[in-house]
Amino acid sequence: MLKQLVVFYFSLFFLVACSEEPSQNSSDNQSVTPVAEKLPSNEPSFSKVSPEPTLVAESRDWNRIKQFKLIRALKLKWEEPTSLPRAGVTSRFHIDLFNDFAQQHALEVQWINVDNLTQIFEMLAEDKADIIPRHLSITQQRLKSMTFSQPIMLDQELLIASSATPAPTSEQVINVHVPKDSAYIESIKKAYPHWEITEFSHNLNHEQLADGLLTNQYNYTVLDKYSFDTLKHYRQGLTSLLALPDTRKLGWAIGHEKNTLLHKLNNYIAVHHISSSTAQPRFLDLESMKKNHLPLRMITKNSPETYFMWRGELVGFEYELMHEFAKRHQLRLEVVVANSYQEMVDLLHQGKGDIIASALTKTDDRVKQLAMSRKYHTVSEMLVSHHLGEDITQLADLKGRTITVRKSSSFWQTAQQLAQEYGATVIAANESLSTELLIAQVADKKIDLTIADSDLVAIEQKFRSNISAPLILKSNIEYGYAVRQENQQLLAALNQYSKKEYRQLFFNIVKNKYFSNTKRQKKLRAKRISADSTLSPYDVMVQPKAQEYQFDWRLIVAQMYQESRFNPNAKSAAGAQGLMQIMPRTGKEMGFSDLTNPEQSIGAGVQYLDWTRARFSKKLALQEQTYFSLAAYNVGFGHVKDAQRLAKKMNLRSDIWFNNVEKAMLLLQQPKYYKHARFGYCRGSEPVNYVREIQQRYLSYVDIVQ
């Protein structure tokens, strides 16, 4: 009966609220279409927010820019990083780099968001912006209409195909499919004039190109090496057949005759040695890095305690501490992600990173192998049990109880000692199961007990009310940073930083943000609602905005309750604000500056939900578009796409959320899956619970308020 009600109410909702399907951009269940059949925009437009104030045509050189303390920069609308930054270059690299340039010159960056590259070039030519700071190939054709900075880096263009496609012979005529107006066209015509070229719509993305190859819609395309290196992390079955002869120079674009601006950009690029800073082995100490304006390269792992992506933002305890350290030494921070302790050590000794910041306990073996800093954080080893389990008040209560931990974890030795001295039984967990997942198994009563550090227990207790930590097994376990033995300047600076900040204001703010041990508050019971009552204090604001974007207003109210419990001043630990819990950067890009204002927060939330919906394939059933858009709103579009790709591999439906994609989403908590995912680690239980709870609340609202 419940299932029938769900179908009925969502059918009713979409018949009333959705008179037409939204635009979309999805690689799932979508064919790649030649230019004659225009594909939807890569980044859906926000037509409801007028961009006119930023689009005034004005040719501005450096003096004018400095006069207004503002520089207008172009980027694709809502340009998310192409993946979790693991090393090297993503779109975030250029955005962060340009923000640093602006900050050095006391300029505010006015980001102007447009749909595609063709529009970006048109707006620059029309003097509606000052610069395009992105990964652009410098070509003869482009130099006719714009000026480029000196090269930021070099790249190679590769012929890409599925692994089953043979490499072409030198004289063979092949048909290569590439996006319209891309720099690849010029390269192909120069190097292989006998190849045939088919142009796709200008807004075709790398995901769609990969899909076309893997589904045999065409055989060949061209990608730059940086993009392909990112793509092959999470898309199997693709290969590089050959490299086009010419190395491409990449730079930022400005209009002609902006000589002073060009000089400032070139000076910044030269001083910072940007072209030599990415993925190049080096063995420099701190003062040499500072003198040569080279970035500090942090080696870490992708995990909830260290470094991960949430709603498009890079966050993590270790990441924030190291970001602040780099900032104080006026260095940019780059992150290199490893999958194991040994890989981190290897990267450090190979000169591919400068420091390991990854919740490393200071053991005798590690101190012999590496130069480790003084402690910057301490944790405890804690026993984890189900809160309704048999009481454990002392170690003697462990007799006959079963503890499950991985042999490779630092907890194995502790568990063995408990077995020998107190009669506990120890079971070796599958090595693919993270401690976080073992805690989940305790919560689900699948295993009896496990051991975890106090930080992770604190994280889990925020989300789980059914676990407890009855015993502290070891206290004052020290974390230290690791560097090469010869990097004594860096080691001394880290020691000074740790000594100054340990348990001081900045450290405590960051620590509490991630590991505050406040137990998850009990859910507030919804007020009893009668058929003639309002659902929230903001119904009148929600209704017209929901109608404008073709949503049922009761769905938006259900989501608002889930986000903030109708508190306009709500603020999450990660910085999301207001009734709809929008990140400030996201709100600003949509034109909303005060997210504590209920009307602005509602406007931003509905608009953002519409944007997430528009990014999924229109081939999805209408109710599925809502489920997927809610999940993307909660955890980020990229993580949901990762779950769709994983669902396909597991022979689940990638176009159905419940009992299909949501199952794959839960697996993105496991290292064996998230280390190959485009956006990395994801606490999959959050979006799964988020969608289910909003759905149930929405159905109750539909039943109560017609």
Catalytic residues: 563
Task: Report, in angstroms and rounded to the nearest whole number, the Rg of the chain calculated over CA atoms.
Answer: 27
Round to whole Å and give the CA distance between 619 and 24. Answer: 9
Q: Hey, is 209 helix, strand or coil? A: helix
**Which residues are 179's β-sheet partners?**
200
How far apart, in Å, are the Cα atoms of 51 and each of 55, 546, 631? 6, 21, 28
CA distances from 655 to 217, 620, 624, 626 (A): 21, 6, 7, 12
The structure tokens listed for 204 are 């075709």
Cα(427)–Cα(449) distance, integer angstroms: 10
CA 608/CA 586 separation, integer angstroms: 8
- CA 581/CA 573 separation, integer angstroms: 11
What is the spatial distance between Cα 574 and Cα 584, in angstroms, rounded to a whole number?
A: 10
Is there a contact between 479 and 367 (Cβ–Cβ < 8 Å)?
no
Burial class (CB in 10 A: 0-12, 13-18, 19+), 578: buried
388's tokens: 């309704």
Region class of 581: left (phi > 0), else alpha (psi between -120 and 50), else beta: left
Closest CA to 302 of 333, 332, 331, 344: 344
Contacts of 316 (CB under 8 A, 6+ apart): 300, 303, 304, 305, 306, 307, 308, 514
**Beta-carbon count within 10 A of 314 CB:** 18
Q: How far is CA 471 from the centre of its chain?
A: 35
Q: How many residues does the chain have?
A: 706
Beta strand segments in 37-77, E:
70-76
Q: 230 and 83 in contact (C-beta within 8 Å)?
A: yes
Backbone angles phi, psi at 388, to 5 degrees: -100, 5
**Cα 72 off chain centre by:** 25
DSSP secondary structure code for residue 395 in this structure = G
- Structure-token pair, residue 56: 């005034």
- Distance between CA atoms of 419 and 136, rounded to whole angstroms? 60
> Which residues are bridge partners to 254 per DSSP?
147
